[in-house]
Structure 1
Amino acid sequence: MKLTISRKALADLMAKGGSAAAKNSPVPIIGHARLVAKAGVLRVSTTDFEMQAEAFAEAAVEAEGAATVSAEKLTQIVGRLPPDASISLSLEGADVVLKASPGRTRLKLATLPLDLWPALDFKADGAAVFDLTGGELTRLFARTYESAKVNNTATTIACVFLHARDWRGTPSLAAVGTNGHICIVTAVALPEGAEAMPVRGGQAGVLLSFETVAAALRLFKGAEKVRIRVTDRVIALEDGHARLISKLIDATYPDYQRIIPAPSPTRAIMNRARGLSVVTLLESFSTKDQGHKLECGAGTDGLIVAASEAGGEGFDQVDATIEGEITPFGVSSLYLKLMLNAYGVERVALSFGERGAAILVSADDEPDTLGVLMPMRVAGDLVRRLSA
């Protein structure tokens, strides 16, 4: 193996193709990246046994071949070379020799046997095949991933559920993430072929680990088109520059639709940006030992938000239109901030049912996303005292 490639191209390959390498593993080979130089292309792949990331770019290949090297070490080296460097890689005996020009840099990286590298096998026979844009993939995964991951210790829901479902009377591809206290579900138009995904719990869909979703966002966030293939065990995503193969979680996702409350005429339609500002300001007083609790209630000109702990207290008001009688309620600042960040519109609505019932979060200008917040019990004294 012998090739030349720009530092920028190799850095991008390591950032993407090297992203699945395991760190501090007792199995050294899964900390190694597999480099394959063939037909004018360098492919960089890493795996942790459950997931495999691969990225490819053009290179001046003088001699075709393959080798494995430490993914962490090669990433560090490339990151420390001058931005305009030209890098040559060549296999010399049991080492990969890296040279950089301009300059006289010469570094030697130890290899491990190629046959030890545990490539994931993806058999496409019978797979469901469909396409998403990078924007659609980001819409489905970014919000749901955050809501499922935060403070999640329940293994049965520690994932993102990607599935076909009816959304407001339209066939859609939806993703949902929840940790039992917050839930976000979002949808895009159902792409042709997605309905053929394996059926679990009566719905065509698959369960993706946090690691898989995070890797998909890193690799395909700005992609023009992502081709997705799904079997009952494995998912593969590819965009012409990178590929991700991952095993699926073998479980049935809970019936999350049961926890989504119906819209209520009792609502607070609030300015989203102002809400984020207020929550960020007051979260200094919503401490972890109190569950990051904020106390909220209706004010004369909007929604009052208050917090109190041993080190102090504070309150502020969010511009909002109050419809109906809102009983003072508590909510985690961590979850409310995450929920408000899930939307990209000016105003969002919090809908309230009976006291203590789940709060529905929605936006008229973003109807393909719904959120659910479980409230915290409060007496309401703090809101009444600080707003007096």
Structure 2
Amino acid sequence: MKITAERDALLSAVERAARVIERRNTIPILGTMKVVAEKGRLVLTGTDLDMEVTTTCPAEVAQAGGAAMPLTAVEFLKKLPAGAKLEITTEKGRATLKAGRSRATLNTLDVDDFPELSAVAGEAAEFPLAASSLATMIERVSFAISTEETRYYLNGIYLHGAVCEDGPLLRAVATDGHRLALHNILAPEGAHPMPGVIVPRKAVAEIARLIKPLGDEAVTLRVSPTRLSLTAGVTTLATKLIDGTFPDYDRVIPKDGEHRALLDVAALDASVARVSTVSSERGRAVKFAFAEGLLTLSVTNPDTGEARDEVEAQWSAPPLEIGFNAGYVADILGALPGKAARLAMKDAGSPCLITAEGDNASLFVLMPMRV
């Protein structure tokens, strides 16, 4: 292989592919990136066996070929000056990188030994989606993904079809057992029906990074029961899905919360932040005391002291005291669209339903704590 490429374009492509590669590997080939030169471009692939990213970069190809290159090449590229032209030549297990007076020779592995993730096959739903819509969906629910490995089926976003009065929906749900986040969009053409799948946490984070700069540009999703792929421009991310059954989340969404409050999101967020400074790091419990026109937040910690704060609230029900984890409340308020939050509760021992005033696309459920 012998190619010449612009350093900036090549670095951008290399970084997209390299992000999924695990830096520590017992299998040497998994610590490399597949680089193939063909017809005026380089095709770069990185994988961790569960997820694979393939992207391309324009290049002048004097000789086609390929190699599995170490991640040292990425670091070398980063340290080259912007605008530099890079020449890469590979032969007999070695790759030579030259740019001006800079030169590096790196050991490579046989490109034929590089593992490939099998493509999305069989029955699959394929549909376009605005990158901004997908980004919003991830932003609204990803904070609630569980990190508890024993409940592996909660370690991702449950993506599936649903139906409402306005027609078919594409719905994303995440929960860790303490809080639940749900977001709906109208299903794009081709998305309904589709299999209910659990997209792993690592893939969710990588998809979010990949689509962040794309705005309203369309991406393509292809979903089968075992694989999901996303194509955005010249980059395709493919991932295995979590093989498990997501719980029946609808059962925990409150339907009978007759105690209702309307609060300013910014004021509530600031108040929670203030009183939680004296809460214990382990529990972070804050007491919410609702009364007519007022919410009083308080924390009592035997080790550090007490804190109390008040926020104006629209509340017309009998007084109610309930405890919540301050960190969980902050996470939900950070994902909540709009300036006003609606809280609906049945009693102090039941889950709280949180929605944004004027927004029907998202809802959040928060379990109470003893205080």
Alpha-carbon distance, 1:122 to partner = 0.6
Tell me the distance in 2 between the aligned counterparts of 1:357 and 1:321. 20
Matched letter for residue 244 of structure 2: A
| Paired residues for 1:1-388 under 5 Å | 1-71=1-71, 73-101=72-100, 104-149=101-146, 153-167=150-164, 169-198=166-195, 205-223=196-214, 224-262=217-255, 264-289=257-282, 291-298=283-290, 301-309=293-301, 310-378=303-371
Tell me the distance in 2 between the aligned counterparts of 1:320 and 1:66. 64
Tell me the distance in 1 between the aligned counterparts of 2:12 and 2:291. 51
Alpha-carbon distance, 1:33 to partner = 0.8
Pair 76,344 (structure 1): closer, same or farther in 2 beyond 3 Å: farther
Conserved 8 A contact 2:323-2:348 = no
Alpha-carbon distance, 1:301 to partner = 5.0
Q: Report the RMSD for the aligned CA atoms in angstroms.
A: 2.0
Alpha-carbon distance, 1:238 to partner = 0.4
Alpha-carbon distance, 1:117 to partner = 0.8
Pair 280,61 (structure 1): closer, same or farther in 2 beyond 3 Å: farther
Conserved 8 A contact 1:263-1:360 = no
- Divergent runs of 4+, >4 A: 150-153
TM-score, length of structure 1 as denominator length: 0.89
Tell me the distance in 1 between the aligned counterparts of 2:265 and 2:7. 42
Matched letter for residue 162 of structure 1: L
Q: Which runs of 5+ in 2 are unaligned?
A: none
TM-score, length of structure 2 as denominator length: 0.93
Conserved 8 A contact 2:292-2:313 = no
Q: Secondary structure at the match of 1:146?
A: helix
Pair 300,74 (structure 1): closer, same or farther in 2 beyond 3 Å: farther
Conserved 8 A contact 2:337-2:356 = no
Pair 158,168 (structure 1): closer, same or farther in 2 beyond 3 Å: farther
Alpha-carbon distance, 1:368 to partner = 0.3
Report the equivalent of 1:201: none
Conserved 8 A contact 1:16-1:218 = no
Pair 75,304 (structure 1): closer, same or farther in 2 beyond 3 Å: farther
Matched letter for residue 220 of structure 1: I
Alpha-carbon distance, 1:87 to partner = 2.3
Conserved 8 A contact 2:169-2:184 = yes
Between stretches 116-125 and 30-39, larger displacement belongs to: 116-125
Pair 353,26 (structure 1): closer, same or farther in 2 beyond 3 Å: same
Conserved 8 A contact 1:267-1:326 = no
Pair 100,287 (structure 1): closer, same or farther in 2 beyond 3 Å: farther
Pair 258,88 (structure 1): closer, same or farther in 2 beyond 3 Å: same
Tell me the distance in 2 between the aligned counterparts of 1:127 and 1:31. 31
Report the equivalent of 1:385: none
Tell me the distance in 2 between the aligned counterparts of 1:366 and 1:3. 52
Alpha-carbon distance, 1:7 to partner = 2.6
Conserved 8 A contact 2:181-2:362 = yes
Between stretches 276-285 and 114-123, larger displacement belongs to: 276-285
Conserved 8 A contact 1:152-1:179 = no
Q: Secondary structure at the match of 1:288?
A: coil
Tell me the distance in 1 between the aligned counterparts of 2:43 and 2:319. 58
Tell me the distance in 2 between the aligned counterparts of 1:241 and 1:302. 53
Alpha-carbon distance, 1:114 to partner = 1.1
The percentage of aligned residue pairs carrying the same residue is 30
Pair 282,60 (structure 1): closer, same or farther in 2 beyond 3 Å: farther
Conserved 8 A contact 1:2-1:89 = yes
Conserved 8 A contact 1:237-1:243 = yes
Pair 168,323 (structure 1): closer, same or farther in 2 beyond 3 Å: farther
Between stretches 156-165 and 116-125, larger displacement belongs to: 116-125
The alignment of Structure 1 onto Structure 2 pairs a total of residues equal to 368
Q: Which runs of 5+ in 1 are unaligned?
A: 199-204, 379-388
Conserved 8 A contact 1:130-1:192 = yes
Conserved 8 A contact 1:20-1:53 = yes
